[in-house]
Amino acid sequence: MSSVQQLFLWNNLQNLHDKEYVEMPEYDNINEPDAKITCTFKFRNEEDYEKFKTLAREYIYEGQRFIDGNQSKTVQQSWYPLNTKESHYVTKSNKNLKQRFPIYIVSKGRWQKNPTRETLKRMNVSFFMIVEKQEYNNYAKFLPKENLLILPQHYKNKYDTFWKDTDKRVGPGAARNFAWEHSIKKGFDWHWVMDDNIESFHYFNKNIRSICIDSSCFYICEDFVMRYKNIAVSGLNYANFCHRHEGINKRPPLIFNTRIYSCLLIRNDIPYRWRGRYNEDTDLSIRVMKDGWCTVQFSNFLQGKMSTQKIKGGNTDEFYEEEGTLKKSKMLVDMHPDITRLTKKFNRWHHHVNYKVFKKNSLLRCENFIPKNKVNDYGLKTFNIGKKFK
């Protein structure tokens, strides 16, 4: 793609954001200047690195963690002084906005340490957790039984793993299909499904990622997708991808027709179900977009998701610790060879998807949605609650 074509595409996307981001909370982020002075610390081992982080934590805050392509290693970028603008702010609504649709957490092997469970409990958000029968009693020690659903075995038996091999593992897709059907039987038009390693949810505005302490973030996202006839899947961007130094030019409030993962709001009447042992969220996003549906990723609200392999349980134990990333990347290439290719970067296998082909998918507004204002704050208030918040 030429530079002229790239500029034309960006201008079209910017116009789309401006047109559709209406009757939504303020999103006023600017590109802040980069650091004038930088320094590099080198450590002989992981132990020294962790000790340094502990000693320096009260003076600097952790910023972006990224892959250095030149040196093929992970780099932690932090800032001084402490980011008090962000670390002490929380957001809630004064209108008691409860989510309309059920939330499901799919979990395996994480009954003790379960970040999403604890996060939603702190936010006073109702949810179901789907677990396997052999782990039910372990989870019941930490959650009331009315919050727990046992995954029926036949969802695993009939699950389409895509590869017709001898591997009997199905990954989280079977439990996600059960959540889909459960929400339909309860009479809902949409449902949320989340990974079990989300530590927080954020409202990103004024270059501050303030922590959401109620369910208003989910309600507002629901409000947005129901304005359209053809949004099939939506979800929240990762907080680690939206930094206070990157304003609207780099992180617009909405990203249309891209993959949605980890925290998804799914329309129940679309003719799809989860499939595949790996990368099932990317596969679902691609299939709906191939058929002309749209997806939307929110960057005004964010999910603070831990990295997949940071805590035990889930896909870490079942797949990635033993296999690495080759199989999961290769499966997606086999699923969608027309737009996906296998590549090796930073000593790991990755998949690369060409999402540009879906930019032609156009949003269709419902006739009854007529915006009156650019901003609707939904009663959101942001508070600086000081250093005591953890």
Q: CA nearest 192: which of 208, 176, 205?
A: 176
Q: CA nearest 180: which of 280, 265, 305, 289?
A: 265
Question: Could you give all domains of the chain from N- to C-terminal order, each with its CATH number?
Answer: 17-367 (3.90.550.10)
Q: What is the reported pLDDT for 9? A: 46
pLDDT category at 75 given cuts 50, 70, 90 is: low
Q: Is residue 172 within 8 Å of residue 106, measured between CB atoms? A: yes
Q: Is residue 176 within 8 Å of residue 280, measured between CB atoms? A: yes
Residue 18 one-letter amino acid:
D
Mean pLDDT over 99-105 rounds to 98
3-class DSSP state of 360: coil
Per-residue pLDDT tens for 230-275? Answer: 999 999 999 988 887 778 878 899 999 999 999 999 999 999 999 9
Q: What is the reported pLDDT for 55? A: 82
Least confident of 107-121, 155-169, 216-230, 276-290: 155-169
Q: What is the pTM of this model?
A: 0.85
Q: Tell me the two tokens of residue 189.
A: 């038009």
Residue 189 one-letter amino acid:
D
Mean pLDDT over 213-231 rounds to 98
Burial per residue of 13-34, b for 16 or more beta-carbon CB atoms within 10 angstroms, e otherwise: beebbeebbebbbbbebeeeee
CA 137 to the chain's CA centroid:
29
Burial class (CB in 10 A: 0-12, 13-18, 19+), 4: exposed
Burial class (CB in 10 A: 0-12, 13-18, 19+), 320: middle
Q: What is the reported pLDDT for 72? A: 45
Per-residue pLDDT tens for 303-312? Answer: 999 865 556 6
